[in-house]
A = this chain, B = another copy of it.
Amino acid sequence: MSKTVELTLKGVCDFLKEHDDYLILCHATPDGDTLGSGYALAMGLNSIGKKCMLKCADAIPSKYSYFTCHFENKAIDYKTVIAVDTADIVLLGSISKDFDGKVDLCIDHHISNTHFADYLYLDSGAAAACECIYDIFAALPMALSDISASAIYTGLSTDTGSFKYSNVTAKTHRIAAELYSYNFEPAEISRLMFDTKSRGRIELERMVLDTAEFHFDGKCMLLNATNAMKEATGCNDSDLEGVAVISRSVEGVLAGVSLKEKDDGSYKVSLRTYPPLNASEICKELGGGGHKNAAGCILSGDIEEIKKQVLSVIKKALEESYAGTSAD
């Protein structure tokens, strides 16, 4: 099939009723939404007599075991391949090539979905793929269990930063309200997902915060995260990313800069700005680009030289902004 067929909610329910022997693919570096979607769907399909198995290129973090351990993931001779919460085939990671052109159905909420599957159920207004899965349970219908409800709650909660982000809608909260009638502990899930840190992550935070520099009357904050810090603390890139975003959320800071060392020793410079500064213009001067509020570039060389380079461009932008003159 050369062109993706977009399905309605009724269409995807019919598809799921008509097919069987499902392989459900979660995206690589799996998060709460792809796992919540995949496991809830597998459990639901089991409940209506369909066979399922799940696959993910990467290991499934143990913190999700409160729902993953309740699904017995036995190999089956699958006939139908479904990808969940996956906007692009490459996001399947190391197994992408094995499934290129072989995904029958994709269930997703990313507006950027690349239509890589034969059939697509896309609800780009959904805060999480788990909202789509909830709708499918209700429409097909399949009965939610306490476990599948906890899996769907996990996706809603993790993809919205616990209902904080701008992707949340009234519907997200309405679904959460419905899920509360099942027997699981949403507060315990929240504690696990948001308020539990590894010792390494705490040590990484300490190291990165120790690099904090404030410049230009507190209008610029600079953080520096190195590979050595990652290695010393056993943290990964996502931990580093999580710490580096601190520079974006400090009161009075108009330019939050994080410098993250890459494997080749060069630095990824991420810049978040607030008006009147323009991140895109600043990064363009440094050979990069991006959006008005968030942009980046790659710089090589000595870290102190890199800092000087970045700070001089920000200084110029601040002076121009506050002098009321334009940048040209």
Q: Does A106 contact B (CB under 8 A)?
A: no
A222 smallest CB distance to B (angstroms): 12
Q: Which chain A residues numbered 154 to 211 have a C-beta less than 8 Å away from chain B?
A: 157, 161-166, 168-174, 176-178, 180-181, 185-187, 190-191, 194-199, 202-203, 205-206, 209-210
Pick from B177, B178, B251: contact of A197, CB below 8 A: B251
Question: Which chain B positions have C-beta within 8 A of A250?
Answer: 196-199, 202
Q: Bound complex: CA of A172 vs CA of B163, how far in Å?
A: 12
CB–CB A249/B197 < 8 A: yes
CB–CB A210/B210 < 8 A: yes
Q: Does A139 contact B (CB under 8 A)?
A: no
Chain A residues with a Cβ under 8 A of chain B: 157, 161-166, 168-174, 176-178, 180-181, 185-187, 190-191, 194-199, 202-203, 205-206, 209-210, 212, 214, 218, 221, 246, 249-253
Nearest-neighbor residue (CB-CB) of A210 within chain B: B206
19 A–B pairs (Cβ distance < 8 Å), ordered by A: A162-B163, A163-B163, A164-B187, A164-B191, A164-B195, A165-B187, A165-B190, A168-B180, A169-B180, A170-B181, A173-B173, A173-B177, A173-B180, A174-B174, A195-B249, A198-B252, A202-B246, A203-B212, A206-B210
Question: Which chain B positions have C-beta within 8 A of A197?
Answer: 246, 249-251
Q: Bound complex: CA of A6 vs CA of B95, how far in Å?
A: 64
CB–CB A180/B170 < 8 A: yes
CB–CB B199/A214 < 8 A: yes
CB–CB B202/A209 < 8 A: yes
CB–CB B168/A199 < 8 A: no
CB–CB B206/A212 < 8 A: yes
Nearest-neighbor residue (CB-CB) of A165 within chain B: B187
Question: Which chain B positions have C-beta within 8 A of A218?
Answer: 199
Pick from B157, B168, B170: contact of A178, CB below 8 A: B170
